[in-house]
Amino acid sequence: MNERLRKLPTYPMVQLEQWRQDLAARGVRVFDFGTGDPREPTPSILRDALRAAVPDVSQYPPTPGTPALRRAAAAYVQRRFGVKVDPDAEVLATFGSKECLFHLPMTFVQVPSDKDLVLYGEPAYPVYEIGALFAEAWTYAVPLGVHNGYAMDPDALPESVLRRASVVFLNYPHNPTGFCLPDALFRRWIEVREEYGFVLVSDECYVDLHYEGPRPRSILEFGRKGCLAVHSLSKRSGMTGYRSGFVAGDPELIGVYRRFRASMGTAPQDFVQAAAALAWTDEGHVAERARCFGEKRAVVLDLCKRRGLTVHGSKAGLYVWIEVPAGTNDVDYAARCREVGILLAPGGFFGKGQERFVRAALVPSVEECRAAAALWPA
């Protein structure tokens, strides 16, 4: 077995599911703020589109995605960010975002070489590290925290690290904290990428879920050469189980990934892509989902205020990043919450130095959030 993989802890979502099952087996009512898998029904217009597109004969989907889906994704990018992309040369359908993020280090990191490093901010979505390790690349986790607003700043990094970087992952709105990256730092990353020549990947899966402040931006608004933006319908459109997204950006990078992707994975089924094309076109269901998550967020923010708990960031995305009370840590506080059926993700699940925080995913219904608020420990 790969020794570097052997050292990886249990994947956080696996542990959260085990805790959920343990609570359910004890007959405890579970308020699952753990895994970010919303319970709201997938919008009916998308389910109807999927059913209508199921063919009589099932065949392999085209690896780049259907032309209709790629055109819908390109139209979304232009409508949402004011950036025109070529649906044939600059867009690829993906099997959700996780698959793509996992593949990119395998595609763009040459090992061994003098550019064998994958950078990402920590705390982080675990797939950045996992994809790098499967690619036999080396990793550099940039420490993020309250002190720097969880903003990944290239000027805080050693030149030797930037020179060695092959792939750099940005993730804003940030999972798990819900912070957004200032425009000045997007611009600075573009400048630094031009200087050092790495692939700059922006994971933008939560860009359409925002509650306060300016609308989150895309890396493609600031530059395209050497840049890729990854999008998903999981949270935006309630299609987590359908696994559909896209990657867009530099046509040279898209061409390389397109060439090798047939060896790594597949696009979603054609009938899923039909629903996805509609999802990228329709904005009404997105506004409704953002409103619903905003209502849940308001309940959680209010209970934190009443319990004397400090919330950091959490102005966008699906999560509320909560500082645990003095005298405890993330694991112990999450265990206290589980005693009353409230399932939270300890901050340490997302990287080192996060023992003062827990993540609450805005998954339970508004009514369940209110019921959980009555039980929530201080």
Q: With pLDDT > 90 as the criterion, what percentage of the chain qualifies?
A: 90
- Write the pLDDT tens digit of every residue in 289-321: 999 999 999 999 999 999 999 999 999 999 999
- Write the pLDDT tens digit of every residue in 224-242: 999 999 999 999 999 999 9
Give 25-69 as a 3 state SS string: HCCCCCEECCCCCCCCCCCHHHHHHHHHHCCCCCCCCCCCCCHHH
Question: Does one domain contain both 242 and 203?
Answer: yes
**pLDDT at position 228:** 98
Q: Could you give the CA distance from residue 86 to residue 109 in angstroms, rounded to a whole number?
A: 26
Last residue of a domain, one of 282, 307, 338: 282
pTM, entire model: 0.95
Q: Above 90 in pLDDT, residue 75?
A: yes
Question: Does one domain contain both 187 and 264?
Answer: yes
**pLDDT at position 262:** 86
**pLDDT at position 88:** 97
Residue 53 banded pLDDT, cuts 50, 70, 90: very high
Question: Does one domain contain both 37 and 65?
Answer: no
Question: Does one domain contain both 299 and 263?
Answer: no
Question: Does one domain contain both 162 and 19?
Answer: no
How many domains in the chain? 2
Question: Does one domain contain both 254 and 227?
Answer: yes
**pLDDT at position 181:** 97
Question: Does one domain contain both 241 and 144?
Answer: yes
Q: For residues 239-254, give the mean pLDDT.
A: 97
Question: Does one domain contain both 119 and 225?
Answer: yes
Q: Above 80 in pLDDT, residue 267?
A: yes
**pLDDT at position 251:** 98
The answer to whether 198 and 167 are in contact (CB under 8 A) is yes
Question: Does one domain contain both 84 and 221?
Answer: yes
Q: For residues 236-250, give the mean pLDDT.
A: 96
Last residue of a domain, one of 262, 282, 302: 282
Last residue of a domain, one of 267, 282, 297: 282
Question: Does one domain contain both 236 and 313?
Answer: no
Question: Does one domain contain both 259 and 291?
Answer: no
- Here the CATH number for the domain that contains residue 180 is 3.40.640.10
Find the domain containing 254 and state its range: 44-282
**pLDDT at position 2:** 74
Q: Could you give the CA distance from residue 25 to residue 291 in angstroms, rounded to a whole number?
A: 33
- Write the pLDDT tens digit of every residue in 89-102: 999 999 999 999 99
- Write the pLDDT tens digit of every residue in 178-211: 999 999 999 999 999 999 999 999 999 999 999 9
- Here the CATH number for the domain that contains residue 348 is 3.90.1150.10
CB atoms within 10 A of CB 223: 18
**pLDDT at position 264:** 85
Question: Does one domain contain both 207 and 80?
Answer: yes
Q: Can you list the alpha helix ranges (DSSP code H) found in the chain?
A: 3-6, 12-25, 44-53, 67-81, 96-108, 127-134, 159-164, 183-196, 234-237, 251-264, 270-281, 284-307, 330-338, 366-375
**pLDDT at position 5:** 75
**pLDDT at position 7:** 73
- Write the pLDDT tens digit of every residue in 346-367: 999 999 999 999 999 999 999 9
